[in-house]
Structure 1
């Protein structure tokens, strides 16, 4: 069974852009041509937004923020609209699932039903908006003895820039809190994965969101560069590579624009000596190969006690070799291709680099023998790895992980922390107290015992070069708000 154009979702307006609350003709005839990574064939095309389209989108969002009703609506009114968007999006769940599989090769067994998280995050932030303390009455200790009202107001127009690996949920983790805060948004999806944003725009239109509150810009990186430097953009929310994040931070700093970023990771799973080797492989192998390893919180380093090194390696190698790799449309396939040709070449470069630096391949290391078409890479496990090697320090973003031995728990923590990144991590142990103690030693923003939890109703983000700020939870709305302090002789009547 091969993927074809019939596997793409049906869009209401595949030849237009959503700007200012309307479907409009793009300013140019340029197209984004989407390639299915399972068979290397083009299956769809959508308009590519130009600089002129970007300027129109920012102008629409600016008008909607400065003059429109959205920032001036009550939190409850905004919440009702957000729930309406979620309900409209839920009607498109099958199309969203198809889009994810067709664009980046996410297997149907993972994609199916995953779109339920989109309405969920909109509903969650609708609830946050209804309960959030946008005004806080305090007593001033200043010499005038006035009362103080600490007000949290929307930051303004937000540029939300999402990557290709999780296009819907990553974008909604920005859009939902921004809308809840009262901001207006220009969404710039990755050029490889624009389809979800067309479906989101349809849901926004159906829900009756005021014109210009949310705008969609499917475009290449040139438009992104102009977007982040546009004076009409008050804040940039970005998920992607650390290199791109550093560039965006410098551009925002030059004009004092606000920004939050969720960037790369090189997370370590630390296996403690009480954990049964037979359990490690079945638990960890599905995580390091999920979405072909194209997950920012992937455990791409596995730290094991030296005394039991071989037992843990055998368990993990056996389980990784048993992962079913193939066409993502086939039931039972757990791992599809990597998302694009350049990604396959990148992963293969790191595999070759690991070998050249002296690491050994315990399983995998190339293309599956029975798959000669598509961007497929075998689940790959390295041993004989020193933490200073390239494959232990740089983010590979593929189904590749490295086993590193340690001699004490203190050394394990040192190895885990010896990284430019600090996004995620895990500890495998049957002892919760030991797990919590290890979690407190690791300089990372996200940590799990015996697995990998991901929950956007709790804060998520990184230390060090893994990002700035947090997404998820009530804390995820804070970056979309500015704080104002108002001193009055007495409290206003509504407080």
Structure 2
């Protein structure tokens, strides 16, 4: 029986890999089952890459970069392919709306916009073909004429997590392709569907062979991608623990890497903030992807004299969240992505209780949902900032409220973490918000909301990563800078 016989996902080639511009047979019969996070039923099966498959994908990308047309096209020519991919994403937006909720638990109301959002990102990077200075004159201290040239870094290994695959695929491969790189896209075993969908679009638009290669693999085979000397750069989104391993392997061979890692982000509630509004905003934000977001504001820091009031407000708003089927328009929060993810979150909740934090609401499974990886929205109060639930990334809908002595202490507590991905300041005073924001050691700081902006740049301080994604900053990691010094001016600079 072909894997396609029991395929429920809107994909045509999940039993193969997209390598060298073709759908190729895997080297083994090994497969991965992708489970619907709401029903716990089989969604589809996908071929699992082994060492020969990964090597074949890397070889195709290497050949496409060294010998193929892609790096030798103009940026404008490559931009036309990006625009074609954008059009393909818009055409497949309904399919994305089916795949993402079933794999990861996001609401269908959000997922159905994923294709359009991804398309806009491809179009943004296509637009840089006309505006970014990939080559510009420079006055050398020796010689007559200098050029500062920005060229593609080479073969890129892009490793994608399971929580928001399409968005993360887009912010990696769109700038990489514009730069002239070739890519091996390694999909997550829990959520490979969007990667395969992008491969189908790449095939449909006639992307040159080997420019984009798509495989799904678990950790051991994924590490072969990181180790392979034919790969010039790794771009990774995932846990800080995995990021440390990737950085160490890249360091062994001085490979370039961009790492978008974990977070334990703080919301600093100043003494003039509207607590009811803050509670509503924080509860609503944490519903997105059931809290399975690295930038979630899960550490709520507030002065002691307002602590109890905020905990009560959060418990009131978060406990009212409607948890259920992500395809039901009434649902406000769906399931977690997998059984092991729910087990992880439940383990942290148990640890919080054991360590003496006050469970204000939640902590269990919804009583009316006997299938699916659901967890109740959970709030802890009186959390010690040194405790496990205050310091480690839970990756679920669990808020921890931490009391502070005053504003300075709140800032110190917010910064007292190995992470530095996101933060927010809650106050009606713009100048005060800006002043506190500048004191927070975080890649992004929002105001009165959970805010990140990939149109500007996204990434973290400290152990939240290396480099930035999104916007113009997200193009730079896929470029190498070359200095050219000539004895005179070329004709087009005369």
- TM-score class, shorter-chain normalisation, is over 0.9
- Look up the match of 1:378: 376
Q: Which moved more, 1:31-40 or 1:346-355?
A: 31-40
Contact kept in structure 1, 2:114 and 2:167, CA below 8 Å = no
Which structure 2 segments of 5+ residues have no match? none
**Matching of residues 39-54 of structure 1 within 5 Å:** 39-54=39-54
CA RMSD of aligned residues (A): 1.3
Out of 203, 206, 217, the position equivalent to 2:204 is 206
Q: CA deviation at 1:150?
A: 1.0
Out of 421, 433, 443, the position equivalent to 1:445 is 443
**Matching of residues 346-385 of structure 1 within 5 Å:** 346-385=344-383
Alpha-carbon separation, structure 2, partners of 1:175 and 1:56: 19
Q: Which moved more, 1:26-35 or 1:109-118?
A: 109-118
Out of 464, 475, 478, the position equivalent to 2:473 is 475
Contact kept in structure 2, 1:9 and 1:96, CA below 8 Å = no
Which structure 1 segments of 5+ residues have no match? none
Question: What SS does the aligned partner of 1:457 have?
Answer: coil
Alpha-carbon separation, structure 1, partners of 2:26 and 2:312: 55
Contact kept in structure 2, 1:35 and 1:43, CA below 8 Å = yes
**Matching of residues 248-259 of structure 1 within 5 Å:** 248-259=246-257
> Is 1:34 equivalent to 2:41 in the alignment?
no
TM-score, reference length from structure 1: 0.97
> Is 1:130 equivalent to 2:97 in the alignment?
no
Alpha-carbon separation, structure 2, partners of 1:325 and 1:387: 29
Question: What SS does the aligned partner of 2:199 have?
Answer: helix
> Is 1:387 equivalent to 2:392 in the alignment?
no
Alpha-carbon separation, structure 1, partners of 2:54 and 2:410: 48
TM-score, reference length from structure 2: 0.97
Contact kept in structure 2, 1:297 and 1:424, CA below 8 Å = yes
Alpha-carbon separation, structure 2, partners of 1:7 and 1:276: 50
Question: What SS does the aligned partner of 2:216 have?
Answer: coil
Q: CA deviation at 1:468?
A: 0.3
Contact kept in structure 1, 2:376 and 2:397, CA below 8 Å = yes
Decide whether aligned partners of structure 1 residues 54 and 7 sit closer, same or farther in structure 2, where only a CA change above 3 A counts: closer
User: Could you give the per-residue CA deviations for residues 384-420 of structure 1, whole angstroms, max 9, x where no partner exists?
Assistant: 1110111000000000010111122111110000000
Q: CA deviation at 1:6?
A: 9.8
Contact kept in structure 2, 1:350 and 1:391, CA below 8 Å = yes
User: Could you give the per-residue CA deviations for residues 178-229 of structure 1, whole angstroms, max 9, x where no partner exists?
Assistant: 0111100000011111111111011111111111000001111121111100
Decide whether aligned partners of structure 1 residues 456 and 6 sit closer, same or farther in structure 2, where only a CA change above 3 A counts: farther
- Look up the match of 1:22: 22
Out of 145, 151, 154, the position equivalent to 1:153 is 151
Alpha-carbon separation, structure 2, partners of 1:284 and 1:361: 17
Question: What SS does the aligned partner of 1:421 have?
Answer: coil
Contact kept in structure 2, 1:109 and 1:334, CA below 8 Å = no
**Matching of residues 55-70 of structure 1 within 5 Å:** 55-70=55-70
- Look up the match of 1:414: 412
Contact kept in structure 2, 1:262 and 1:461, CA below 8 Å = yes
Out of 294, 297, 303, the position equivalent to 1:296 is 294
User: Matched residue pairs, number?
Assistant: 489
